[in-house]
A and B are shown apart, each in its own frame.
Chain A
Amino acid sequence: MKFQQIDQFAAELKADTRAAVYDGSKKGHEKRTKLLFDEFPDPNHLRRVAGKIKQHVVENLDTYLPAVEAKMKANGVQVHWAATADAANAAVLGIMRARGATKIVKAKTMVSEETELAHFLEKEGIETLETDLGEFIVQIDHDHPSHIVKPIIHKNRREIARSFEREGLGAYNDDPETITRRARTFLRHKYLEADVGLTGANFVSVESGRIVLVTNEGNSRFCLAATKCHIAMIGIEKLVPRDYDLGLLLNLLARSGTAQEVTVYTEFISGPKSAAQPDGPEEMHVIFVDNGRTEVLASECRDILRCIRCGACLNVCPVYRQASGHAYRSVYPGPVGAVLSPLLMGEKFAEKADLPKASSLCGACNEVCPVNIPIPDLLLRLRNKAKEENIPSPGTPPMGAWALLASQPTAWRAALWGGKAINYLPTNLLPIPALRAWEAKRTLPAWRGGEFRKWMKGRARTPGASAKTT
């Protein structure tokens, strides 16, 4: 391999995919910044408080999980637990079989992407339909989402129009409004035929047992207006202590995720439909899913469990913008994915140990994160973990020679002196492919090695100055 895996992927990315991802993420980021900073005098204060709330939850899951379970049961919800992806999928299937159900409509949930639920159910003969427009397009294309909030950020309208034509949803038409109307017409009858509606949850209040869903399209509402059974698949870290905390977190999620003050639909669901209501689920199930989260909790990187899946760190990340989501080979791309995906691999950490290296540690992800996760620190911890476990790192330039050079003062001095020669060499003709590729688009700055050492030697030794250097 010439480069690291993620760089290789970026190098081979189609130009229009790169453009779509770049534009989409940049726009998302700029709108978010404007909204947060125009309206709040100190948005960073909000992020810090929200981060503390979620960290508190993560570090007290041992008491909060049984508490929320008890509350939900009191609300008439049936609570299930799934340690693994397989167990979570089996739980959904079990609930469906018990009801004699054969059709399920799904709203967008990241945890069901982790468990590949749709795929599993289809193999079991269950008609499974994604209803979020982006996820629906991903499903008919047998593709994967490339962003956690905007799943088809990598596709343009012409590709989508071709897919719709192929699926018999009308003659080729790439007008986004037509595409949306066609999906509307097709899907609304599917909801009405379905037996079960499946959602995730953005937040769960321990105090009231309410789950909160944050959406724009109205598909999750439809899932819960048309079907008789609601299943919510929820990662164990989604809790917040009180309803009170939702005011702040909802504010931050909408602004950070889609640059909205509040999403179009915010749904607070605490149980089956009320007695007089003609529409909606008579039965509600919650499946709490672990699938690797307890291992993350046991690691030095547990802060990543604060994540509220807003996607802001993807939008701002220079690596994500160039490489697109699929480069991360995981359900979670971007900075959050570079931390979470290798950890969720558990024993197979090595397979994704390269992801934490695909970062310049610029820190932009930490600055935008609504729950203030120190992502760059976590990336460093994971790099260290990979090093300690002796995981090979194909594609990274060998640093052995550099280490030798930098740790031998004599060799170093000699190299500095020799470096001056570079200023007189036609470097673009040197037979070093990496240097050639680099120089094809840039000019090497003039070599000025040794200046720092000179300055260091010559500078006056005052007590204050020497204290600073220790």
Chain B
Amino acid sequence: MSDDRESILSRVRGALAPLRERAAMPDYTTEIAVMRNLLAGRDALAVFSERIKRVNGIALTDPAALVEKLRAGGWLHGYCDPALWPTLAPHFGEGFKVETVFDRTRVDDYAFGITRAAGAIAETGTVILDDVTTSSRLAALAPWVHVAVVNRAQIFSDLPQAVAALGADSNVIWCTGPSKTADVEGILIEGVHGPGVQIALVVD
């Protein structure tokens, strides 16, 4: 296949050789793609909460409200990142079963997964996961409900800011609302392969 490498690159060079001039990279700022009016002078958390609602996600700031929500949904068995559990456990009362190791052979047992987020994006209502902060990729994906615990100070205002903060992590995922499809007759259905409910728990 190193032959293929050489043949592709030499054909690329051959194809471009006759061009008298190559198209230049435009000089521009990604500001042009930012919804500035939306963000102007507003608190990032307020915008984030409003925007996540638009994509059918849920933003909460109080762990007690989270527990309430889970109980109301009948989502009593789940996973929690072991690093978060000591602070969250006191809010979970009777009737919950929470594990801190995700067992992939019982993937259907977990109704919710709680993991840490690396940040959020206000403009789009997005939570940002990365490989270093996520305790288990599967736990953040397979259960019906995913709860991302977002640090309030890590809410970026817009996409270009979040791109600039990508860093060195090998797997960054922006999650904007629950997983969805419109493949069948264009009808929107939530909860395809990923979570059907996406919650952001914003903490200080």
Closest chain A CB from B128 CB (angstroms): 10
Query: What are the residues of chain B within 8 A of A45 when measuring CB–CB?
Result: 32
Indicate the member of B135, B142, B183 with the most A CB atoms within 10 Å: B183
The answer to whether B185 and A20 have CB atoms under 8 Å apart is: yes
The answer to whether B132 and A276 have CB atoms under 8 Å apart is: yes
The answer to whether B14 and A298 have CB atoms under 8 Å apart is: yes
Closest chain A CB from B203 CB (angstroms): 22
The answer to whether B183 and A264 have CB atoms under 8 Å apart is: no
Task: From B32, B138, B141, B171, give the contact of A268 (CB < 8 A).
Answer: B171
The answer to whether A269 and B170 have CB atoms under 8 Å apart is: yes
B63 within 8 A of A: no
How far is A272 from B11 in the complex, measured between Cα atoms in Å?
Answer: 31
The answer to whether B191 and A180 have CB atoms under 8 Å apart is: yes
Q: Given A157-B185, A279-B138: A218 and B195 within 8 A (CB)?
A: yes
Query: What are the residues of chain B within 8 A of A250 when measuring CB–CB?
Result: 159
Q: Which residue of B lies closest to A287 (CB)?
A: B1
Interface band, chain A: 35 or more
The answer to whether B22 and A60 have CB atoms under 8 Å apart is: yes
A-B contacts counted at CB < 8 A amount to 259
Closest chain B CB from A19 CB (angstroms): 11
The answer to whether B33 and A176 have CB atoms under 8 Å apart is: no
Question: Which A301-325 residues have C-beta < 8 A from chain B?
Answer: 302
The answer to whether A218 and B192 have CB atoms under 8 Å apart is: yes
Task: From B8, B55, B123, give the contact of A288 (CB < 8 A).
Answer: B8
Q: Which residue of A lies closest to B35 (CB)?
A: A39
User: Can you name 7 A-B residue pairings with CB atoms under 8 Å?
Assistant: A91-B1, A184-B193, A244-B164, A247-B163, A262-B126, A266-B176, A268-B166
Question: Which B1-50 residues have C-beta < 8 A from chain A?
Answer: 1-2, 4-5, 7-9, 11-16, 19, 22-26, 28, 30, 32-33, 35
The answer to whether B16 and A61 have CB atoms under 8 Å apart is: yes
Sample of 11 more A-B contacts, CB < 8 Å, known A267-B172, A298-B15? A49-B28, A56-B24, A80-B4, A83-B4, A180-B191, A221-B194, A243-B163, A263-B176, A265-B175, A272-B170, A302-B15
How far is A208 from B181 in the complex, measured between Cα atoms in Å?
Answer: 30
Query: What are the residues of chain B within 8 A of A58 when measuring CB–CB?
Result: 23
A interface residues with partner B (beta carbon < 8 Å): 20, 23-24, 27-28, 39-40, 45-46, 49, 52-53, 55-56, 58-62, 65-66, 75, 80-83, 87, 91, 131-134, 137, 150-153, 156-157, 160, 176-177, 179-181, 183-184, 187-189, 191-192, 208, 210, 216-219, 221-222, 224-226, 236, 241, 243-248, 250-252, 258, 260-274, 276-280, 288, 290, 294-295, 297-298, 302
Closest chain A CB from B90 CB (angstroms): 26
Q: Given A82-B4, A247-B160, A279-B136: A133 and B26 within 8 A (CB)?
A: no
B177 within 8 A of A: yes
How far is A302 from B179 in the complex, measured between Cα atoms in Å?
Answer: 36
The answer to whether A294 and B11 have CB atoms under 8 Å apart is: yes
Query: What are the residues of chain A within 8 A of B191 when measuring CB–CB?
Result: 180-181, 184
Query: What are the residues of chain B within 8 A of A270 when measuring CB–CB?
Result: 169-171
Task: From B24, B187, B192, give the contact of A184 (CB < 8 A).
Answer: B192
The answer to whether A294 and B8 have CB atoms under 8 Å apart is: yes
Query: What are the residues of chain B within 8 A of A160 when measuring CB–CB?
Result: 184
How far is A177 from B189 in the complex, measured between Cα atoms in Å?
Answer: 6
B62 within 8 A of A: no
How far is A272 from B137 in the complex, measured between Cα atoms in Å?
Answer: 13
Q: B112-126: contact bitstring with A at CB < 8 Å (1 yes, 0 no)?
A: 000000000001101
Query: What are the residues of chain B within 8 A of A298 when measuring CB–CB?
Result: 11, 14-15
B68 within 8 A of A: no
How far is A294 from B200 in the complex, measured between Cα atoms in Å?
Answer: 46
How far is A189 from B107 in the complex, measured between Cα atoms in Å?
Answer: 8
The answer to whether A297 and B16 have CB atoms under 8 Å apart is: yes
